[in-house]
Amino acid sequence: RMGARVLLATHRAATIGEMSCNPAIGGLGKGHLVREIDALDGLMGRAIDAAGIQFRMLNRSKGPAVRGPRSQADRKLYRQAMQRLVAETPGLTVIEMAVEDLIVSRETSVQGIRAADGTDYRAPAVVLTTGTFLKGVIHIGDKRIPAGRVGEAPAVGLSERLYG
C-alpha cells in the first residue's frame, strides 16, 4: 500500500545488494519474479539497469513459454545501486538484526517478528526473503560450519520455526 512504513531486518546493512560469484539476475524463474517485482515498483530492476553489463534473452530460438531475460551485473555497481536505492526509499527503515522467530497468533496468523535480542516488532504483514541463510552450512574439507555467506551467520532460530 502506498505510504506504508516498512522495516527491513538484515544481519548486515552493508551486504544489501551483495551478489554471488555469478552475478546474474534472471533466467526462466527468477527473470519472471524480477519482472513482477519491477511491475510493483521494486528496486531490483532499477539496480540491474544501473549495474548491468550484459543483457540477453535466454532460449530466444524456442517458444515464448521458455524465454527468459537474464542480466549479468558488475557486482560492485549493483551493491552500490541497491544501497543507494534502499537509502532513498521513503518509509523504509533498515535495522541490523537477526530475526529468530515469527510472532504468531493461534499458530495461524503472523503478527510480526522476534529479534535475536528478544525485541518484538509487530506488523500487519511479514515478508521473508531468507536467501541461503536458513540452516546454512559451509563445507570446508571434511568440516561443516554453520554459516550464511562466508563470514556471516545462518538463520538458525527462524529455520527451526519454518521447519517445525
CA-closest candidate to residue 96, choices 151, 14, 154: 14
Residue 1, pLDDT score: 55
Which residue matches cell numbers 559451509?
138
Residue 2, pLDDT score: 67
Share of the chain above pLDDT 90, in %: 46
CA-closest candidate to residue 49, choices 35, 33, 29, 64: 35
Work out the average pLDDT over 89-106: 91
pLDDT tens-place string over residues 113-161: 999 899 999 999 999 887 667 777 888 899 988 777 666 777 777 777 7
Work out the average pLDDT over 15-34: 84
- Give the residues across from 143 on adjacent strands: 140
Residue 130 φ/ψ, nearest 5 degrees? -85, -15
CB distance 88 to 80 below 8 Å: no
CA-closest candidate to residue 6, choices 110, 118, 127: 127
Residues sharing a CB contact under 8 Å with residue 88, sequence separation 6 or more, in sequence order: none
pLDDT tens-place string over residues 40-80: 888 999 999 999 999 999 999 999 888 888 999 999 999 99
pLDDT tens-place string over residues 59-69: 999 998 888 88
